[in-house]
Chains A and B, each alone.
Chain A
C-alpha cells in the first residue's frame, strides 16, 4: 500500500467522520436510555421510517438473540413507530425529519451514534426488515459468536443480504403485526450470486439473487449490492462508508479468505418482500430519498403493478442456517 492511497483513505475516513458530526444536530433525542447500557452489551443500531408493523417481531428477534440495547433513529415516521419505540424499555430513540439522502442514506447519523455509544461494544447495524442469522444461531446466542470473534482477533463479521420472497404475488398473503415474516416470505435463490473485490476499499461487491434476475437482467451493473458487514467490534475512528456495505479503515472489510479457505460468515435474511412493500414503494417514489434516484423502487413499482411473483421452480425454501451452510451461502469457517 503506497502512502498516497493511505492518505486518500485517511482523508475519506475523516470526511465521513466529519459528516457524522455535521449531521448530528439533526438527531433529536426522544428517549435516551443509553445510561443503562452495560459495557458488555451487544447493541443494535437501526434507522427506520414507517416500520411500525415490523417492529414487535424485529425487537423480539434480537432480544432473544441476546442484544442488550437498541439505538434507533426514526426518520419522520407517521405510523406510530416512534410512540411504540418510545414505550420500549430497551430502546433509545432519536428522531429527525432531515433528508435521509443528504445524510448519506442515514449513514452519517448512524456513524455519529456509533461513535458516541458504540465504541467498545459489539454493534449490529441492521434495518427493520433484516434478520441476522449466523452459524449455530439455533443453539448459541450472539454473545457466543462475538466472544469467538474476540478470541480469533476478528473485528468484523460478514453477513450478506439474502432476499426472501413469498410464493405467489407479493401482497397476496397479509402480514400481521408480531408475525414471523418468514411464514410468508420463506423462499430464496440459492446459487446465482456474483461477487468481485473492490480494489479501493477491499470490500466485496456482491450482486445477484431474485432482484437481479427479476428487475435488473437488462442492466445487471445497477442491481443492488448484497454484501454487508453488519457486526463490528466498534472503535473510535471507525466509519461506515456506504450503508453497511463497507467500512473504514478497510481492514474491517477483510471478511473473506483469498487463498481458498473459508472464513466464518452469516446472512441477513431480507424480508423486504412483504405486503407492506406496496405502500413503501408508493411513498418512496414520491420522496425520492433512496439510492440511485430510487431506480430500484421504480423497478418494484412496475413489478408490483403486474402482480409480481419472484417465485420460480428453482426457489429454495428457507429452513435454517445449516441449509445455508450446505448451500455455500454462509460458512462455519473454523468455528467448531
Chain B
C-alpha cells in the first residue's frame, strides 16, 4: 500500500515542479491541478519541466477563486486521477502548491500503512468550530452566497443580512450533517471512492456549489457519511493568523518545522530556498515521531496575541490605541505619593530604603522633572525638561513606566505640579495613588513670610487639589486609591505607611522598623487657625485642633503589624 498526492497550484510553478519531483522520486503518484487563470505558456513550461517524470499527471484545469466550488472541483479531479491511474494507492493526500513535505516519503508511507482504513481529515460540527471567518458557521450551509466575499463585500454582507431578515433558509440534503475543517486532508481510497461514486453525488455537488467556502466543508461533511474511522486532524501543518490569512514559513523556521513532526507544512514562502533545499533533500533522516503542534502553537499564539492585544502600556508607531482601547494604559504598577514629600523630611530617601525600585521627586514639578538621584535624564533618554514633558505628559509617563519594566516607579505629586496628567493616572489600574490632602499647607507654614501671600497661595493650591480630588473620587477612577486628610493622617501615620509598603512589595514580610522623619510642626495649629480667621475654609486639611501639635513632637512609632 502507498499513497498519492493531489497538488492544487496557481503560482510559484518552479517550486511546484520541485515538490512534485520529490514525491515522484519516492514512488508517489502526483496529480497537479493548475489554475486555469495561469497562462498556457507557463503551464507548458511546467509540463515540459516534468515531462521526464511518469508519476506526475495534470488534471483538467478549473479557474479557481477563493471560497468557491472550483477548489472542490479541482480536488475531485485530482483525486479521481490518482484513484483511477494508481490502483495500488491506499490514501490520497490533498496539498497545495505552497505546501512542503517535511519528512521522507517513507515516513508518511509507513504512517499511513499502519492505519489503512483511517481518514485524516479535520472535521467538526459547526457548533464546535470557533475559527469561522466572518461570523458565519451553520449559515454557510443555509444561506445563498452569489456575491464574492473578497471582491463584493458590501453586497455580500447586505445579501446575508437580507436573507436573515426574511428568514430564508436552504434545505440541507437529508443524510448530511454539516462539518467543517482544514482543506488539507488525507483520505483512504475506500472513503474517497465512496464519496466520488455516491449515487447521490450529483445532488450533493449541486448543493455544495452554493455553500460558502465549500472546500472547507464538502469532503469534511461527506467523509462523515462514508467513513468508519475518522481521525479529526490534519497531517498538514497549516494555521491562519488573527486576520484569517495563512501563516507563512521562511528559512528561519527550519528548526521548528523539523521538530513539529508534521508531514507537510503550508504556506511556504516561494523564496525560502533553505527550506526547499533542506526538506526536499534525499538524505533527510527518518523518524517515527507523531505530529506535535505544540511548539508551533506557542509561536502562533504569541503572534495572535501581539496582533490583537499587543504589549500593554506600549505606545509606538504601529500601536497607538485610542482612549479606553489601550488594553493596559501603562506597562507596570507604579506609585504616586501626594503630600508625603511635604510632611516628611526626605520621604524619597526613606522610601527607597523600604522598597526596591526608583523613587523620583516631583516628576511633574514646574521647573523640571525631578528624576531619582537628581539625574538630568532617565531611562530611554527621557529629558528632565519641563517643556518637553508638558508637551505630551502622557507620553512622558507611559515611556517612563515602559522603559523601566521590572523596576517599580514611585514619584511625588502635588498641587504645585503640572496637573494635565491627572485624568490619565486616575483611570489607570496600574497606578497606586496615596494622598494626604491638604499637606501642601505644610511648606507654606514652614516658609512663613507675608501672610497675605500665603493666604493667596493657599487658596490656589486648595482649589487645584480640590479639582484633583474630584477626579480621583469620580466613578471613572481605576487606580488603587487612598486618601487621608492631613489631620487624619497625623493621627496615625504608621498604619497607612505600612499598608502602602505592603501593597508595593507584598513578599516583604517584616513590619516597618523606621518611619520617615516628620517635619517640625510646632505652631502649626495656630497657623491653621490664622488661615481660618482670614476666611479660608481648609476642608482638605481636616479637623486639626489648636494645640494638637504637642502630640506630634515625640518620635513616631512604627505600627504594630496585623497578621
Contacts and interface: CB of A to CB of B under 8 A. Distances in A.
Nearest to B380: A191
A216 B387 CA distance: 9
A62 interface: no
A148 B318 contact: no
A312 B378 CA distance: 10
Contacts of B321: 257-260
Interface in B246-271: 246-253, 269-271
Contacts of B388: 212-213, 216-217, 220
A206 B319 CA distance: 12
Interface string B377-413: 1111111010110011001100100110000000000
A301 to B, nearest CB: 21
Which 3 residue pairs across A and B have the least CB separation, nearest first?
Answer: A191-B380, A189-B381, A334-B307
Contact of A144 (B250, B311, B382, B403): B250
B245 A152 contact: yes
Interface stretch (A45-53, A100-108, A234-242, A262-270): A262-270
Interface string B348-384: 0000000000000000000000000001111111110
Contacts of B399: 191-193
Given A148-B248, A151-B245, A213-B381, A193 B326 contact: no
Interface stretch (A30-38, A111-119, A325-333): A325-333
A220 to B, nearest CB: 4
Contacts of B387: 217-220
A131 to B, nearest CB: 17
Interface string A242-276: 00000000000001111111111100000000000
Interface string B223-251: 00000000000000000011101111111
Given A190-B381, A213-B385, A334-B304, A257 B318 contact: yes
Contacts of A260: 308-310, 319, 321, 325-328
A144 B243 contact: no
Contact of A263 (B241, B318, B392, B396): B318
A143 B318 contact: no
B314 interface: yes
B273 to A, nearest CB: 10
A260 B309 CA distance: 5
Contacts, number: 188
B395 A261 contact: no
Contact of B306 (A194, A315, A333): A333
Residue of A144, A261, A331 most packed against chain B (CB within 10 A): A261
Interface of B: 241-243, 245-253, 269-271, 299-300, 303-304, 306-311, 314-322, 325-328, 375-383, 385, 387-388, 391-392, 395-396, 399, 402-403
Contact of B271 (A147, A190, A209): A147
A212 B246 CA distance: 41
A126 to B, nearest CB: 16
18 contacts: A147-B271, A153-B245, A158-B317, A190-B381, A210-B381, A255-B318, A259-B321, A260-B308, A260-B319, A260-B327, A264-B318, A312-B377, A314-B382, A328-B311, A331-B306, A332-B303, A336-B249, A336-B253
A256 B500 CA distance: 38
A227 to B, nearest CB: 7
B378 A262 contact: no
A336 B317 contact: no
A208 B388 CA distance: 9
Contact of A258 (B306, B307, B320): B320
Contacts of A210: 381
Contacts of B311: 262, 328
B381 A192 contact: yes
A204 interface: yes
Nearest to A213: B383
A270 to B, nearest CB: 14
A255 B316 CA distance: 11
A216 B388 CA distance: 8
A122 to B, nearest CB: 14
Contact of A204 (B310, B317, B378): B317
B379 A195 contact: no
A197 interface: yes
Nearest to A259: B325
Nearest to A190: B380
Interface stretch (A133-141, A175-183, A280-288): A133-141
A265 B309 CA distance: 16
Nearest to A267: B317
B271 A144 contact: yes
A313 interface: yes
Contact of A194 (B242, B269, B325, B392): B392
A44 interface: no
B320 A204 contact: yes
Interface of A: 136, 139-141, 143-144, 147-148, 151-153, 158-160, 189-197, 204, 206, 208-210, 212-213, 216-221, 227, 255-265, 312-316, 328-336
A190 B403 contact: yes
Contacts of B318: 158, 255-257, 262-265, 330-331, 333
A256 to B, nearest CB: 5
B316 A265 contact: yes
A259 B319 CA distance: 8
A265 B381 contact: no
B306 A261 contact: yes
Contact of A334 (B253, B306, B316, B395): B306
B307 A261 contact: yes
Nearest to A221: B391
Contacts of B315: 195
Contacts of A227: 317
A312 B381 contact: yes
A265 B308 contact: no
A328 B383 contact: no
Contact of B319 (A160, A191, A209, A261): A261
A147 B381 contact: no
A221 to B, nearest CB: 7
B381 A256 contact: no
B383 A191 contact: no
A335 B310 CA distance: 13
Contact of B303 (A197, A216, A316, A334): A334
A221 B382 CA distance: 16
Contact of B243 (A136, A152, A192, A196): A152
Given A193-B399, A256-B320, 10 more contacts: A160-B317, A192-B399, A220-B391, A258-B321, A260-B308, A265-B316, A312-B381, A314-B382, A333-B318, A336-B300
B271 A256 contact: no
B316 A331 contact: yes
A158 B311 CA distance: 18
Contacts of B247: 336
A328 B402 contact: yes
Residue of B248, B318, B327 most packed against chain A (CB within 10 A): B318
A68 to B, nearest CB: 14
B100 to A, nearest CB: 15
A237 B303 CA distance: 34
Contacts of A209: 381
A328 B246 CA distance: 25
B242 A314 contact: no
A258 B310 CA distance: 11
A197 B320 contact: yes
A189 B242 CA distance: 32
A278 B307 CA distance: 43
Nearest to A206: B317
Given A144-B250, A335-B303, A217 B381 contact: no
A220 B376 CA distance: 17
Contacts of A264: 318
Contacts of A332: 303, 306
A189 B162 CA distance: 55
A221 B387 CA distance: 10
Contacts of B379: 190-191, 314
Residue of A158, A195, A197 most packed against chain B (CB within 10 A): A195
A261 B320 contact: no
